[in-house]
Structure 1
C-alpha cells in the first residue's frame, strides 16, 4: 500500500482547514484528533497556514499536511513547515514532478480524464476529485473512474455530512475532504470533537 493510500484510509473524512489565527490551530487539531480525524489538511490560503502546520504537528496522533499547494515554491514552504502530505487543487507537470521528486505523499486535484492521464504519466494513481459537486458530482466520478480502474479518489468541494456517505459508498473512493467539521471562528472544542466523531463513523 502506498503512503498516500495509507493516509487516505486513516479516516473517512479529511478535514479541509482554513486557519486564520495560529492560536486556533492547537485546539482545533486536538478536537479533531480526539474525535477520530487524525489526517488534517491545512490549506495555504492564509498567512497563518504554515505556522498552523508547525503547531498542529505537536498534537499526538495528528498527520498534518498542506492543501491548496499550487507550485513548487509553495511545495517547498509546506515541506519546510513539516507537512507530511501535500494536496493540490489541480495538477501541473511542474508541480507534479517536484512533488514526485520530493517523495512526499501527494494527492493532486483532477476534474477530467486529461488530468488523470497527466497524473498517470507521473506515476500517480491517487487523486482529489475537485471541485466534486461542481464538476458533476457522483455521476461524473463514476464515469471518470470507469476507464481508470487503478485509480482511487478523495472527492472534495461541496461534500457535506449529508452526501458524504453516498460518496464513500463508491468503490474507488477511499475518503472525502470537507470543511463542515471545522466551522469558522474560534474553535469550540466540544462541538468540533462531536462533529469529528460523527464524520469518523461515516465509512459504510
Structure 2
C-alpha cells in the first residue's frame, strides 16, 4: 500500500464517521472548544475548520488538544504552506475548494490526507489518475447537485464524493441516497448567530438532526 492509498483509507474512515461534515468559520478562538464539544455531543465527530479567518489555526489547535472524540480537519486549503501549518496545529485531514499542481505535489509529500474539490468529470478523472478515490464536489448545488453526482456514478464508480456548497438539512437526503456519496459538507450546523451567542445547546440540536441523516454504507 503506497502512501496515498493509506491516506485514502484514513480519509474514508473519517468521512464514514457521520453523514455530515460541518464546515465551520471561526471568528473567535474562544468559541472553538465549546462548539466542537456541542457537535460531538450531537453525534458529529469530524469537523472542518476553514482557513477563512485569522483564528482558524488556533481553533484547530484547541479542538485537537481539548475535545475528546473530535476529528478536526482544515478547510479552504490553497497551498502547501497552509497544509503543513494545519498539520502542525493538529488537523487530521485537509479539504481544498479545487486543485492545482503545486497543491497536489505538496499533498503527496504531506502525511495529511487531502479531500480535493472538483466541479467537472475531467477534474475527477485527473485526480483518479493520481490515486484519489474520495473527492469533494464543490460548489455542489451550483455545479449540478445530486443529479450531476447520479450521472457520474456509472462512469466513475471508483470515486466517492463529499458534496459541499449550498446543501441544507432539507436537501442533504437527496445526496446521501446516492451510492457514490459518502457524506455531505454543510455550514448550517454552526450558523454565525449561534456561534456569536454561545448557543451550544442549539448547535448540539442541529448536530443531532444532521447525525440522524444516514448515508448509505
Deviation at 1:148, TM superposition (A): 0.9
The answer on 1:200 being equivalent to 2:200 is no
Alignment TM-score, normalising by the size of structure 1 = 0.97
Deviation digits for residues 147-183 of structure 1, max 9, x if unmatched? Answer: 1110000010011000001110000001000011101
Q: Is the 8 A contact 2:23 2:49 kept in 1?
A: yes
The answer on 1:37 being equivalent to 2:48 is no
Distance in 1 separating the partners of 2:116 and 2:153: 15
Q: Is the 8 A contact 2:118 2:138 kept in 1?
A: yes
SS in 1 for 2:141: coil
Bigger CA drift: 101-110 or 53-62? 101-110
Number of aligned positions between the proteins: 204
Q: Match for 2:157 among 149, 155, 163?
A: 149
Q: Which is richer in helix?
A: 2
Stretches of 4+ aligned residues off by more than 6 angstroms = none
Q: Is the 8 A contact 2:149 2:180 kept in 1?
A: no
SS in 1 for 2:73: strand
How does 1:1-204 map onto structure 2 within 5 Å?
2-57=9-64, 58-184=66-192, 185-186=195-196, 187-203=198-214
Alignment TM-score, normalising by the size of structure 2 = 0.91
Q: Is the 8 A contact 1:15 1:179 kept in 2?
A: yes
SS in 2 for 1:64: strand
Q: What is the RMSD computed on CA atoms of the aligned residues?
A: 1.2
- In structure 2, relative to structure 1, the CA distance for the partners of 1:96 and 1:145 (3 Å cut) is farther
Deviation digits for residues 105-160 of structure 1, max 9, x if unmatched? Answer: 21100100121122112211100010000101111122233211100000100110
Bigger CA drift: 48-57 or 141-150? 141-150
Distance in 2 separating the partners of 1:50 and 1:103: 18
Could you tell me which runs of 5 or more consecutive residues in structure 2 were left unpaired when the two chains were aligned.
1-7
State the match for 2:3 in structure 1: none
Q: Is the 8 A contact 2:153 2:179 kept in 1?
A: no
Distance in 1 separating the partners of 2:19 and 2:204: 15
Could you tell me which runs of 5 or more consecutive residues in structure 1 were left unpaired when the two chains were aligned.
none
Distance in 2 separating the partners of 1:32 and 1:87: 19
